[in-house]
A and B are shown apart, each in its own frame.
Chain A
Amino acid sequence: MRGFLLTVASFGLTASVVGHAFFQKKQFYPSVVYLTKSNPSMAVIYMQAFVMVVLMGKLFKTVFFGQLRAAEMEHLIERSWYAVTETCLAFTVFRDDFSPRFVAMFTFLLFLKCFHWLAEDRVDYMERSPVISWLFHLRVLGLLAVLGALDMIFMNYAYHSTLTKGASVQLVFGFEYAVLFTIIVNISFKYVLHTIDLQSENPWESKAVYMLYTDLIMSFVKVMLYTVFLAIMIKVHTFPLFAIRPMYLAMRSFKKAVNDVIMSRRAIRNMNTLYPDATAEDLASSDNVCIICREEMVTGCKKLPCNHIFHTSCLRSWFQRQQTCPTCRMDVLRTPAATLRAQQNQQQQQQQQQAQMPGMMPPFPGYPFWMPQFHPGAQFPNQQQQQQQQQAGSPAASQQATQAPGGAAAATTPAAGSQPGDASTSATQAAAGSTEGVAAGTPASPITPSSVPPFPFMMPPPPFFMPPFATPPPMPPPDFAGLTEEELRAMEGTERQHLEARIECLRSIHTLLDAAMVQIQQYMSVVGELGIPPPPPATSLYGYTSPAASGPATSGPATSTTLAASVPDSTTTTDSADSGATPKTSPGTVPTLRKDKDSSADLTSLDGAAGFTPPTEGELIPEYEEDTPEEVDHSEIRRRRLQRLESAGSDNQ
Chain B
Amino acid sequence: MLMRRSGLPPCDQCVYVLICVICAASSVVEEVTRSCQISPHFYTTITMAGAALKRLMTEYKQLTLNPPEGIVAGPLNEDNFFEWEATISGPEGTCFEGGVFEAQILFPPDYPLNPPKMKFKSEMFHPNIYADGRVCISILHAPGDDPMGYESSAERWSPVQSVEKILLSVVSMLAEPNDESGANVDASKMWRDEREKFNQIAEGIVRKSLGLPPAPS
Residues of A within 8 A of B (CB): 11, 18, 27-29, 32, 35, 45, 48-49, 52, 55-56, 58-59, 62-63, 66-67, 69, 71, 124-135, 194, 197-199, 201, 203, 291-295, 313-314, 317-318, 321-322, 324, 326-327, 329
Contact = CB atoms under 8 A, between A and B. Distances in A.
Nearest to A48: B15
B66 interface: no
A127 B29 contact: no
Interface string B38-53: 0010011111111111
List of 5 A-B pairs having minimum Cβ-Cβ separation, nearest first: A133-B44, A59-B26, A292-B159, A28-B5, A326-B159
Question: Is the interface on chain B under 10, 10 to 19, 20 to 34, or 35 or more residues?
Answer: 35 or more
Contacts of A52: 15, 18-19, 22
B82 interface: yes
A128 B52 contact: yes
B21 to A, nearest CB: 9
A28 B6 contact: yes
B155 to A, nearest CB: 10
Given A27-B5, A55-B19, A317-B110, A126 B49 contact: yes
Nearest to B5: A28
A291 B159 contact: yes
Given A133-B40, A295-B58, A327-B158, 12 more contacts: A32-B10, A35-B12, A59-B22, A62-B30, A63-B29, A126-B49, A128-B81, A130-B46, A130-B57, A131-B79, A135-B36, A197-B49
Contacts of B148: none
A528 to B, nearest CB: 40
A135 B80 CA distance: 17
Contacts of A197: 49-50
Contacts of B15: 48-49, 52
A82 to B, nearest CB: 22
B43 A135 contact: yes
Nearest to A308: B160
25 contacts: A28-B6, A29-B5, A35-B12, A55-B19, A62-B26, A62-B30, A67-B33, A127-B49, A128-B109, A129-B80, A131-B78, A131-B79, A133-B40, A133-B45, A197-B50, A198-B49, A199-B47, A294-B59, A295-B55, A317-B110, A318-B113, A321-B113, A321-B114, A326-B159, A326-B160
Contact of B52 (A63, A127, A318): A127
A59 B25 contact: yes
Nearest to B26: A59
Given A62-B30, A293-B54, A314-B51, A130 B79 contact: yes
B83 A71 contact: yes
A483 B80 CA distance: 84
B19 A130 contact: no
Contacts of A129: 49, 53, 79-81
A416 B165 CA distance: 48
Interface in B71-99: 78-83
A404 to B, nearest CB: 55
Contacts of B52: 127-128
Contacts of A321: 113-114, 142, 144
Contact of B12 (A18, A55, A194): A18
B32 to A, nearest CB: 9
Interface of B: 5-6, 10, 12, 15, 18-19, 22-23, 25-26, 29-30, 33, 36-37, 40, 43-55, 57-59, 78-83, 109-110, 112-114, 142-144, 153-154, 158-160
Nearest to A126: B49
B103 to A, nearest CB: 16
Given A126-B49, A135-B43, A55 B153 contact: no
A197 B48 CA distance: 9
B62 to A, nearest CB: 8
B43 A55 contact: no
A29 B10 CA distance: 10
B113 A317 contact: yes
Given A28-B10, A48-B15, A58 B26 contact: yes
A59 B144 CA distance: 44
Contacts of A291: 159-160
A137 to B, nearest CB: 9
A135 B47 CA distance: 15
A127 B50 contact: yes
A55 B83 contact: no
Contacts of A48: 15
Given A124-B109, A194-B49, A329-B154, A55 B22 contact: yes
B145 to A, nearest CB: 12
B45 A130 contact: no
A377 B177 CA distance: 42
A69 B81 CA distance: 13
Contacts of B113: 292, 317-318, 321
Contact of A130 (B6, B49, B110, B160): B49
A58, A314, A322 pick with most chain B CB within 10 angstroms: A322
A598 B82 CA distance: 61
